Structure 1
Amino acid sequence: MAAVPGVCKPKTKRAKRFLEKRDPKIIENTKNAMLIKGGNTSETVTQALRDIYSLKKPNAVLYKKKNITRPFEDQTSVKRPHNLIIGRMFDYHVLDMVELGIEKFESLRDFKNSKSAEGSKPMLIFAGDAFEIDNDLKRVKNLFIDFFRGPTVPKIRLAGLEIVLHFTAFAGKIFLRSYKVLLKKSGCRIPRIELEEMGPSFNFILRRTHFASDDLYKKSLKQPKALKAKKKKNISQDVFGTTYGRIHMEKQDLSKLQTRKMKGLKKRKAGKNVIADESESSPKKMKV
């Protein structure tokens, strides 16, 4: 039989396992982030990459050498200091890419407190109407979720919720704050929650964007039929996978409400009640 062009047949078991890992799967592997320095990277961006790497470990790779790579290269001579480019790939091609300018940055080492454990799954909070109204920020929000959400797990314990990443869109800027969750004693079973800022802290301004077309973006979101759940009425999910249910209740008639069968709650006829009251109030006859 003639060999099929474009198909690489493994010659060893190790090569076979490697190719099997790269095959399409119903449930994909956890995405790894590549953090790459450009040819002219400032100290601010270098430290920012280190802090993002600390948040993403172990699902990230930090390249220390400089790479002459300019994804947004054009013919303009505008100076863009402290650039941070975040992107994602689909089918071995760049899908989405945004250029964020760092206007203010506070590193992990600027906050003198304890940090979260490596590999903690963060909780993501987005504030600001712009994330729901502006089309570019909608895609940026989706990119942040895809980048920071961490591995998909079936269960998580309360003590494992250690990090909160809070994104705020306001006045054309994006503010990222990182907090550590502190579980305090409350005198009951449920602990009292406090947030302590641990860094890093960013003030971003959105500069350039490169988003996929609507058709390609829809293609990247396509899921196999085995993962598609059957549609159920009055049940919906948000972008984080949280399930919400809507309950329709009939109008309640309180007169038909079942109560405990107590003597004081029993219905009595009006005539009997009057006679009983009169008999109780009339003087009793006594034998002389």
Structure 2
Amino acid sequence: MDMQNQGIVKPKTQRAKRALETKAPKLVENTKSALFIRGGHTSETVTQALKDLSVFKKPEAVVLRRKNILRPFEDATSVEFLGQKSDCSLFVFGSHSKKRPHNLVIGRMYDFHVLDMVELGIENFTSLSSFKSGSCALGSKPCLVFAGDQFETEVEFIRLKNIFIDFFRGQELKKLALDGVDHVITFTAAEGRVYFRVFQVILKKSGCKTPRVELEEMGPRLDLVMRRSHLSSDSLLKQACKKPAAVKPKKVKNVSRDSFGSKLGRVHMKRQDFTQLQTRKMKGLKRTKPHSSTRNKDGPHTTKRAKLDSTASS
């Protein structure tokens, strides 16, 4: 069968082969990159918001300099094409119009097809340059804090929380130094809005081994209002989150962990014969012979006094 009909591209050079291998599915996927797109008409607020958000995603951030006339909710093929071309599974699209002023669309893709996207409007914005505190280090890990009942009860906010975690968590690590967490991102949901705040973590001397932690707002500051959403079905989301069997840890029999994380084991043993159990050689623990079932006529139950009475009567 022709490979072009199947949609498979055969590389002609080693460089093209390595590029296709990086985009191919893997057991452990690479860190997700984000694509920042400016629409045909943008405001200064949207442009600066895209620039500030890309700071927290570097080095996994691709910023398009040119404007792109797109409408993700009407036709998502252009966004999917740009995501596949840049090898990005996350995207942020900024636009501005009279009907939807200062508009941001944040979403993610699965197999280079739009999985989820949420449209948010910027009501209040303070840029990163307006704050005096320093910026975060390149490649540092954020501490994500979500506050508000809507993140636990409403479907749109639950999915939005999942998108934010997918967007800002960065590289997955097994161990992390305390100095590697230098900023905190908080999301507060209240009355249909999401309040986005970023704080810098300052470690100060406390007189003991554990330092004293202080937070200082470093920006940007955004007040976002929920407008539209395009959410995938539960079956498609389950398929996108499915892990391959080779990655899942093998289950060890008879080993479990309690609520405190302690490792517990179960040992199976045969029934023991306690008659053969070796004990200390003490007089009280000396084994006795079992009693016989048949008794003699002048057995142990016959007393000496009874014998004397029988001789006297004769």
TM-score > 0.5, shorter chain as reference: yes
* Equivalent residue, structure 1, for 2:200: 180
The normalised TM-score by structure 1 is 0.77
How much does 1:8 deviate?
2.6
Q: Does 1:48 find its partner at 2:49?
A: yes
* Equivalent residue, structure 2, for 1:120: 140
Question: Equivalent of 1:203, from 197, 215, 223?
Answer: 223
Q: 1:16 to 1:113 in 2, by over 3 A?
A: same
How much does 1:3 deviate?
5.2
Residues 76-225 of structure 1 mapped to structure 2, 5 A cutoff: 79-225=99-245
How much does 1:44 deviate?
0.5
How far apart in 1 are the matches of 2:69 and 2:224? 23
How far apart in 1 are the matches of 2:157 and 2:250? 31
Number of aligned pairs? Answer: 238
* Equivalent residue, structure 1, for 2:29: 28
Query: Is the contact between residue 36 and residue 62 of structure 2 (CA under 8 Å) also seen in structure 1?
Result: yes
Give the gaps of 5 or more residues in structure 1: 237-243, 249-288
How far apart in 2 are the matches of 1:230 and 1:171? 45
Secondary structure class of the residue paired with 1:181: strand
Give the gaps of 5 or more residues in structure 2: 76-96, 265-314
- Structure with higher Rg: it is 2
Please tell me the root mean square deviation across aligned C-alpha atoms, in Å. 2.3
* Equivalent residue, structure 2, for 1:255: none
How far apart in 2 are the matches of 1:78 and 1:53? 26
Percentage of identical aligned residues: 56
Deviations 1:69-114 (CA, angstroms, capped at 9, x unpaired): 011249xx97110001101111111110100000111110110122
How far apart in 2 are the matches of 1:199 and 1:235? 41
The normalised TM-score by structure 2 is 0.71
How far apart in 2 are the matches of 1:156 and 1:47? 31
How much does 1:233 deviate?
5.3
How far apart in 1 are the matches of 2:101 and 2:262? 49
Q: Amino acid of the residue matched to residue 162 of structure 2?
A: N
Query: Is the contact between residue 142 and residue 181 of structure 2 (CA under 8 Å) also seen in structure 1?
Result: yes
